[in-house]
Structure 1
């Protein structure tokens, strides 16, 4: 018999994967985590009061406030970005010491055009998981930023997984369906002739059969149900069924020893099959480890769903919320499955739900693209639904793992965004990025770009690197010219409405950001502006097509994050604002690591 593939039905607030998790009392007792350390990316402290209302005072953060420790805010490091903030939480150190100075940055001794990914940069100070494993503790990670995909010290986990194939849409009409000759199994009924068609996820997936059923005995051909299968024989089992009221399903296939999966959704289904639309989600490999954990996930909750496809023209904002909640539930369910089947002393976990929704639905300003009060209210309702779901997940984890100490953090807040600023285009206009003609002056001659300086940006932070002779392999600026060039740049940026402040590299020491990877100049945007590194010709400013951003001054109220702690070894007490640097010592204390 073919294995049934589980599907999720997600409503406005979602029906979580937690409802699927089997009773695990029969399992051999595993080590109960001393600490579960979970980060909700983009969980803004400004939103917390809405989660502490009387009806929620016994749920999630409200319960933690009564029984544990809920800080007034967590102050992120400079810059208030995902990679540096998470690495600082894991190390207790500022970027000046661990080297991750942004989500993306330029490193010395590389070409001026090269960028380094902050999520994969080798961390230069000791991390929490290394401190724990050095003491013989078992550590696991569910997609925690900064944890290497194949960290040998970890007992089990899932690396943050990237798509192998993009999403797509399959459209069918009645002409695409043929009468299904096979007899239906007794578990299926169709009062009109069963019809079938076929589709594939990608070139590796093989063919999936869709069988359309009419399950209403009303003497009218009206198809409402699709049966999905990996072969043409339903009598030996089938993968699952989807309808417009139960539209999601996870399809899997094997390729070169790896399981891949896509979450598909039925978007439209006319009863006469003249218009059928099937959304095929991004295809992801299952990279969980060890293999026993990988197999467990496939049997219980399927494959990695990935985040929302916000820019897909066939998906509505409500469906994007479904995707975000499904991904969030998947990560939380993987956390619980791993703990209950394998155990651990320390589990690191990650939830990107609120960052995803905040970037795309934080519409509150008339300067934002396509702003209207009605659209703003609709978007903010979706964003609040995400916050309610995050608070629900915190509560579920508390109930399911009551013997563990739970630390809840976020890496930054979120500010409304309205304008994109292109600093490299400005450099081009002012001659700091210059296109030279090689060989001759004819229009079709080969062009070579000469860089005197270049920006590498993430959100509201931009590092400006001078193309220095003694540092970059093809540097053209001497040490004597460096200060003059930097001063010219500062004078230019003072006049730009997007720029809050520009720091010389030497001035970043008090910020905890002085490191060889730091730019010769650090630019911080005013909230509402986003730095984009594109240097092709075009406008310097344009209206942003998304609605939330971070990377600004971390002391701003909009950038402040959350910190909460609860559990058998967490005394109840009020907390004022805490720094990111205080989190690691608290966790080490509970783990009895000096």
Structure 2
């Protein structure tokens, strides 16, 4: 055989193999799970005590960053926008969780979670490049928006509030499809007020299925009073029941529980909120999800727990049910539709930490016993996240990459600031005769979210007046101070935090905790508006205010007109300086292109998007400001 034929055969073999190699690369898949509010330091603590076995295994099989720093302000919407795009709030438009409508003079707020991103997110950019993408509750991935994945599930609306009603039973009227009862069947009427729809009228039948010559009502049947023939199933006393609904052609439903004694004299009916979800995908996608996994459940009901309507066990069952639904739907999409990029989100840690992060003796209601109880509640939410991580890691195939990230941490707070009260006292904010803000005659208004607040100036003011007003407001907030409360336990807490920072070899934390100790010495003055800056220098976007306020550790912001400083009901907050220890986030990754078993240096939430593009073998858009986390990726990738 001549040399030219041998060369031709070799070349043909090389070219025939090239597409196969490319196909292997293109088979890379990425799953990104965002766990809202997951603190880096608490995650490490719970990993060390064995509470998070699946997250521990994830870190050991791949990489874990020393910590992750999010954008400023450290809030959910800006941070998730940074994850999804690799761009700063000045580019995405997500300057806060809520902001002033740029088209209005003052006091009309917009909800960031319903708004479009100004930069193309991962799921849309990858889709444009021919990848199949899916999102499950990921903030910003609203199927109603212009940019969406091939398969999307997102939060809808609250269609009805939760309730806890005392029941009044009477002999039942119409009895269709009712099991045999050894006592007269009794009926209670339950009205459910719906938003933007006709109210529900429910009928609850009580049945005695125990043949013992005594009245022992143990079985309950819930029906729509206007559709008595509809089969909705039945539940036992003190057991959960589900009631699916169609409201204005939307799939919805609620979970409920009857709490009654055997003779029905003391009987109560607990009903969760009724929520809807928004679906994006093929025509049959929504019905497929509802048929297999049921209606979109409520994610929590802390008010019902605090009011004593439900027990802690029942409260946790509600949270676990939501986590299971999200996990089920996420893994169903993964297995059936095999997306190249799948981005999901769970909120449990954020929610639990806002309500129960009781760590500091300066916090309202603090005691060692109560702190231990509440921190167990917080740890439960981390275990929920761990179970979701476990289900995802169990599902991973040979080409799957799994990234675990959080958007921010969470710090304990003891006081809430009222920037609008300061503005009102100085005459910058004026009230109308109806008790509402006079938006036309006010010069400034603060929109608070967590530990941050955007201060907006009336857009009708001349530019020269605005510049003078900005200087006055900076001075107002920078000079505001309060006397440090005397708290020996609080100072002891600060000293321990200093000691911990030395053990952790964290210079930033050492500086922060040392400053905090001296700030709180008796007689010292605390300046709670720690960072006051011209917001346009941080987030030069029309959605941003002229000033950005961020609170000192221990403080959060409020929009209401109250005392300038008062004890807070919320125990955990975020939005402040993302470099603070408690506000640092989490990043871990595993997969065939990820190095194994190592701790890498700090990363940024801005680095997540370019890293995902790299794993998917896609070029990152020009607006991306983050960097590929090269320390995490194998060199031969």
Larger radius of gyration: 2
- In 2, are the aligned partners of 1:33 and 1:344 still within 8 Å (CA)? no
Aligned ranges for residues 183-202 of structure 1 at < 5 Å? 184=178, 190-202=181-193
Task: Determine if the alignment matches structure 1 residue 211 to structure 2 residue 211.
Answer: no
> Residues 198, 390 of structure 1: CA spacing in aligned structure 2 closer, same or farther, 3 A cutoff?
same
- Counterpart-to-counterpart distance in 2, 1:197 and 1:504: 59
Q: Compute the displacement of 1:531 (Å).
A: 0.7
Name whichever of 399-408 and 385-394 sits farther off. 399-408
> What's the counterpart of residue 240 of structure 1?
233
- In 1, are the aligned partners of 2:75 and 2:97 still within 8 Å (CA)? yes
> What's the counterpart of residue 568 of structure 2?
544
SS at match of 2:530: strand
> What's the counterpart of residue 534 of structure 1?
560
> What's the counterpart of residue 371 of structure 1?
366
- Counterpart-to-counterpart distance in 1, 2:330 and 2:39: 23
Q: Compute the displacement of 1:244 (Å).
A: 4.5
SS at match of 2:327: helix
> Residues 191, 368 of structure 1: CA spacing in aligned structure 2 closer, same or farther, 3 A cutoff?
farther
- In 2, are the aligned partners of 1:71 and 1:574 still within 8 Å (CA)? yes
> What's the counterpart of residue 591 of structure 1?
616
- In 2, are the aligned partners of 1:133 and 1:139 still within 8 Å (CA)? yes
> What's the counterpart of residue 356 of structure 2?
361
Aligned ranges for residues 390-429 of structure 1 at < 5 Å? 390-403=385-398, 404-429=400-425
- Counterpart-to-counterpart distance in 1, 2:124 and 2:352: 32
> What's the counterpart of residue 24 of structure 1?
none
Deviations 1:456-510 (A, max 9, x none): 111111122233xxxx13669724523542443244436684624233327x74x
> What's the counterpart of residue 293 of structure 1?
285
Task: Determine if the alignment matches structure 1 residue 277 to structure 2 residue 301.
Answer: no
- Counterpart-to-counterpart distance in 2, 1:590 and 1:75: 21
> What's the counterpart of residue 478 of structure 1?
465
- In 2, are the aligned partners of 1:405 and 1:567 still within 8 Å (CA)? yes
- Counterpart-to-counterpart distance in 1, 2:50 and 2:555: 36
Task: Determine if the alignment matches structure 1 residue 524 to structure 2 residue 550.
Answer: yes
Decide which of 582, 589, 593 is 1:558's aligned counterpart: 582
Q: Compute the displacement of 1:285 (Å).
A: 2.7
> What's the counterpart of residue 43 of structure 1?
38
SS at match of 1:398: helix
SS at match of 1:367: coil
SS at match of 1:588: helix
Structure 2: runs of 5+ lacking an equivalent: 1-25, 483-524, 620-637
Q: Compute the displacement of 1:148 (Å).
A: 2.8
Name whichever of 331-340 and 480-489 sits farther off. 480-489
Name whichever of 43-52 and 65-74 sits farther off. 43-52
SS at match of 2:254: strand
- Counterpart-to-counterpart distance in 1, 2:299 and 2:99: 24
SS at match of 2:607: helix
Q: Compute the displacement of 1:260 (Å).
A: 2.5
Q: Compute the displacement of 1:280 (Å).
A: 1.7
> What's the counterpart of residue 104 of structure 2?
110
- In 1, are the aligned partners of 2:28 and 2:615 still within 8 Å (CA)? no
Aligned ranges for residues 208-357 of structure 1 at < 5 Å? 208-230=202-224, 238-245=231-238, 247-266=239-258, 268-290=259-281, 291-312=283-304, 313=307, 314-357=309-352
SS at match of 1:502: strand
Decide which of 129, 132, 138 is 2:132's aligned counterpart: 138
Q: Compute the displacement of 1:40 (Å).
A: 0.7
- Counterpart-to-counterpart distance in 1, 2:366 and 2:192: 37
- Counterpart-to-counterpart distance in 2, 1:324 and 1:294: 22
- In 2, are the aligned partners of 1:325 and 1:386 still within 8 Å (CA)? no
Task: Determine if the alignment matches structure 1 residue 119 to structure 2 residue 113.
Answer: yes
Deviations 1:389-444 (A, max 9, x none): 2111101111123442111111111111221211101111122223478xxxxx99
Structure 1: runs of 5+ lacking an equivalent: 1-30, 438-442
- Counterpart-to-counterpart distance in 2, 1:158 and 1:282: 19
- In 1, are the aligned partners of 2:480 and 2:529 still within 8 Å (CA)? no
> Residues 371, 293 of structure 1: CA spacing in aligned structure 2 closer, same or farther, 3 A cutoff?
same
More helix by share: 2
Q: Compute the displacement of 1:62 (Å).
A: 0.8
Task: Determine if the alignment matches structure 1 residue 454 to structure 2 residue 449.
Answer: no
> Residues 55, 367 of structure 1: CA spacing in aligned structure 2 closer, same or farther, 3 A cutoff?
closer
> What's the counterpart of residue 4 of structure 1?
none
- In 1, are the aligned partners of 2:453 and 2:548 still within 8 Å (CA)? yes
Deviations 1:277-309 (A, max 9, x none): 111221223432344222122222211122322
- Counterpart-to-counterpart distance in 2, 1:213 and 1:82: 47
TM-score under structure 2 normalisation?
A: 0.78
> Residues 465, 237 of structure 1: CA spacing in aligned structure 2 closer, same or farther, 3 A cutoff?
closer
- Counterpart-to-counterpart distance in 2, 1:191 and 1:394: 48
> Residues 224, 375 of structure 1: CA spacing in aligned structure 2 closer, same or farther, 3 A cutoff?
farther
> Residues 248, 289 of structure 1: CA spacing in aligned structure 2 closer, same or farther, 3 A cutoff?
farther
- Counterpart-to-counterpart distance in 2, 1:427 and 1:502: 17
* CA RMSD between the two structures: 3.0
Aligned ranges for residues 48-63 of structure 1 at < 5 Å? 48-53=43-48, 55=50, 59-63=53-57
Decide which of 165, 186, 210 is 2:160's aligned counterpart: 165
> Residues 315, 370 of structure 1: CA spacing in aligned structure 2 closer, same or farther, 3 A cutoff?
farther
Deviations 1:545-579 (A, max 9, x none): 12111111100110011111122332314322211
Q: Compute the displacement of 1:80 (Å).
A: 0.7
- In 2, are the aligned partners of 1:212 and 1:226 still within 8 Å (CA)? yes
- In 1, are the aligned partners of 2:166 and 2:269 still within 8 Å (CA)? yes
- Counterpart-to-counterpart distance in 2, 1:82 and 1:588: 22
Deviations 1:221-268 (A, max 9, x none): 22222233447999x8832333345x32221222343222122233x2
Q: Compute the displacement of 1:591 (Å).
A: 0.8
- Counterpart-to-counterpart distance in 2, 1:505 and 1:345: 41
Name whichever of 94-103 and 210-219 sits farther off. 210-219
> Residues 491, 199 of structure 1: CA spacing in aligned structure 2 closer, same or farther, 3 A cutoff?
closer
- Counterpart-to-counterpart distance in 1, 2:467 and 2:63: 53
Q: Compute the displacement of 1:451 (Å).
A: 1.7
- In 2, are the aligned partners of 1:35 and 1:407 still within 8 Å (CA)? yes
> Residues 217, 402 of structure 1: CA spacing in aligned structure 2 closer, same or farther, 3 A cutoff?
farther
- In 2, are the aligned partners of 1:466 and 1:477 still within 8 Å (CA)? no
- Counterpart-to-counterpart distance in 1, 2:202 and 2:48: 48
Aligned residue pairs total: 541
> What's the counterpart of residue 480 of structure 2?
493
